[in-house]
């Protein structure tokens, strides 16, 4: 028997095939029943007739419980009204495991609260919406990799256990290593990217990163995935151009390949279609002026809050780039602006529709003495940064890069409320299970 995935149905119309999946839904009326089966690649509506299957088998199927696993055999037929456009006329089936009536599948078509669903995340990911979001996540990850792979970047993975902080000591997770040694879960692969960029020119890393964020917001995870490119002989302007091009590439890929999933999420496609270069650009100074006019309590020197980011981005139909932040709110490694050394050559990219910062990056200090001074000013342990200082001792060059949080990007592209749905198993302030 020719086993196919439901997504391959179009190529097998009129053939008798086998599909293997789980019972998603079932309607029945007398001598006919309509099991809907999902197999991860799609949903197939099946038609089972008592006269074909015989009394006993028909009753068995008709009484089958939600999410029971089964294999079905039958002939495929095009049917416009069916969910995926095809129907199977069932000849035979095997049940692998029947979910007992006494312990029914906990997620039913009725409304469940977010805590209940998160507690059942291991099952919730089977639902249509969650499935669509995670399919889009895969597309985003693939597009990001394709973008860098086809633009001369070499993938260089960076370590997760690290001896020092990259993004400030307040959000570090400490881990007991061997022999009383302490290490930290990485906040960013950037410092290592700077080393590999001096070896390969253009590099990227893509992996999990960790922040001990005490913030319980819709935008914060304690474990998230970040893609970080880094380029030798590059400046802040290069970062802006690459980020812009990469994001346009990613959005167009999702529009090309994930229409069905965007439709399940009822995403307004015109919002995504307007994501085209050039993106609007402004300085931190200008942003603060705009925010004050809009009634924000921000003062020059302060960081943007979530509301500020929304106020700024609501003016535009595509991502906004804000650059040259006050040095005091930025990490130790930022190159100062030559004209105004109180400003950091950094850029944040704010997604439209109030989704906030999705990219942060900029130009790094390449002068040895200035970097050493900053390490001291930030009370960072110089010993742990000696290898990083080496990069300024041996052939230092202007270099720059950025990081994009995958979950922030997917949340925006999907147009959903909370980034916890964009990762299979979210880790947040009050959630480390399942
Ligand atoms: O702006 P951040 O902190 O920048 C860095 O870590 C740089 N070292 C990156 C680099 O230049 N190589 O973080 C970058 C991005 C943010 O714009 C956001 O998308 C995401 O990482 N991010 C988070 N996503 C989810 N939960 C959190 N707690 C996040 N913190 C940052
Ligand atoms: Mg940032």
CATH number for 21: 2.40.50.140
Nearest ligand 1 atom to alpha carbon 333: 8
Does residue 180 carry a pLDDT above 90? no
Measured distance CA(120)–CA(98) in Å, rounded:
19
Q: Which of 140, 167, 187, 188 to mutate to test the pocket of ligand 1 (most atoms within 8 A of CB)?
A: 188
Does residue 383 carry a pLDDT above 90? yes
- At 97-114, the pLDDT tens digits run 999 999 999 999 888 999
- At 67-107, the pLDDT tens digits run 999 999 999 999 999 988 999 999 999 999 999 999 999 99
229 touches 249 (CB < 8 A): no
Residues 261 and 409 in one domain: yes
- At 251-304, the pLDDT tens digits run 999 999 999 999 999 999 999 999 999 999 999 999 999 999 999 999 999 999
Residues 178 and 293 in one domain: yes
Half-sphere exposure of 172 (CA within 13 A, CB side): 17
Residue 83 belongs to some domain of the structure:
yes
Report residues near ion ligand 2: CB below 5 Å.
Answer: 360
Residues 134 and 275 in one domain: yes
Nearest ligand atom owner, CA of 303: 2
215 Cα: distance to centroid of ligand 1 (angstroms): 14
pLDDT cut 90: percent of the chain above it = 94
* Cα dist from 107 to 20, 24, 96, 229, 343, whole Å: 21, 11, 20, 40, 52
CATH code: domain of residue 284: 3.30.930.10
Q: Is the pTM of this model over 0.85?
A: yes
Q: State the DSSP string of 282-310.
A: EEHHHHHHHHHHTT----TTPPP-HHHHH
Average pLDDT over residues 363-372: 98
Residue 110 belongs to some domain of the structure:
no
Does residue 168 carry a pLDDT above 90? no
Residue 230 belongs to some domain of the structure:
yes
The domain tally of the chain equals 2
What domain range is 9 assigned to?
2-97
Residues 89 and 237 in one domain: no
226 touches 404 (CB < 8 A): yes
Residues 88 and 138 in one domain: no
Average pLDDT over residues 204-221: 94
* Ligand 1 pocket member 356 (CB < 6 A): no
- Calculate the average pLDDT of the chain: 96
Residues 125 and 92 in one domain: no
Residues 356 and 405 in one domain: yes
Residue 207 belongs to some domain of the structure:
yes
**3-class state of residue 185 by DSSP:** strand
Residues 75 and 204 in one domain: no
Average pLDDT over residues 221-244: 98
**Which pLDDT belongs to residue 375?**
97
């Amino acid at each position: 028997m020719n086993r196919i995935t439901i997504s391959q149905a179009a190529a097998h119309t009129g053939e008798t095939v086998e599909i293997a999946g789980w019972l998603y839904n079932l309607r029945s009326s007398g001598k006919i029943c309509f099991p809907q089966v999902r197999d991860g690649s799609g949903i197939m509506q099946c038609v089972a007739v008592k006269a074909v299957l015989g009394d006993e088998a028909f009753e068995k199927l008709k009484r089958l419980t939600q999410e029971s696993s089964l294999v079905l055999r039958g002939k495929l037929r095009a049917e416009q009204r069916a969910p995926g456009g095809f129907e199977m006329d069932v000849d035979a089936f095997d049940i692998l495991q029947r979910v007992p009536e006494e312990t029914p599948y906990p997620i039913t078509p009725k409304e469940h609260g977010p805590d209940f669903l998160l507690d059942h995340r291991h099952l919730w990911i089977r639902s249509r919406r969650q499935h669509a979001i995670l399919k889009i996540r895969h597309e985003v990850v693939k597009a990001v990799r394709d973008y860098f792979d086809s633009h001369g970047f070499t993938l260089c993975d960076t370590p997760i256990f690290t001896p020092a902080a990259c993004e400030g000591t307040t959000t570090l997770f400490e881990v007991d290593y061997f022999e009383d040694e302490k290490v930290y879960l990485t906040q960013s692969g950037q410092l290592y990217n700077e080393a590999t960029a001096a070896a390969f020119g253009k590099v990227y890393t893509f992996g999990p990163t960790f922040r001990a964020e005490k913030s319980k917001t819709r935008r914060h995870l304690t474990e998230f995935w970040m893609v970080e490119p880094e380029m030798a002989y590059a400046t802040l302007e290069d970062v802006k151009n690459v980020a812009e091009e990469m994001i346009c590439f990613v959005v167009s890929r999702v529009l090309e390949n994930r229409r069905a999933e965007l439709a399940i999420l009822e995403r307004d496609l015109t919002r995504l279609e307007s994501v085209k270069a050039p993106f609007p650009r402004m300085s931190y100074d200008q942003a603060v002026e705009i925010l004050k006019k809009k009634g924000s309590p921000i003062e020059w020197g302060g960081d943007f809050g979530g509301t500020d980011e929304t106020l700024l981005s609501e003016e535009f139909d595509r991502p906004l780039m804000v650059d040259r932040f006050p040095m005091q709110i930025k990490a130790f490694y930022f190159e100062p602006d030559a004209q105004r050394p109180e400003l950091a050559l950094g850029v944040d990219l704010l997604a439209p529709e109030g989704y906030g910062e999705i990219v942060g990056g900029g130009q790094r200090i390449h002068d040895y003495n200035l970097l050493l001074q900053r390490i001291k000013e930030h009370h960072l342990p110089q010993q742990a940064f000696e290898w990083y200082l080496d990069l300024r001792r041996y052939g230092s060059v202007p270099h720059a890069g950025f990081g994009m949080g995958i979950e922030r990007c997917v949340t925006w592209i999907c147009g959903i409320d909370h980034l916890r749905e964009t990762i299979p198993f979210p880790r947040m302030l009050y959630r480390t299970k399942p």
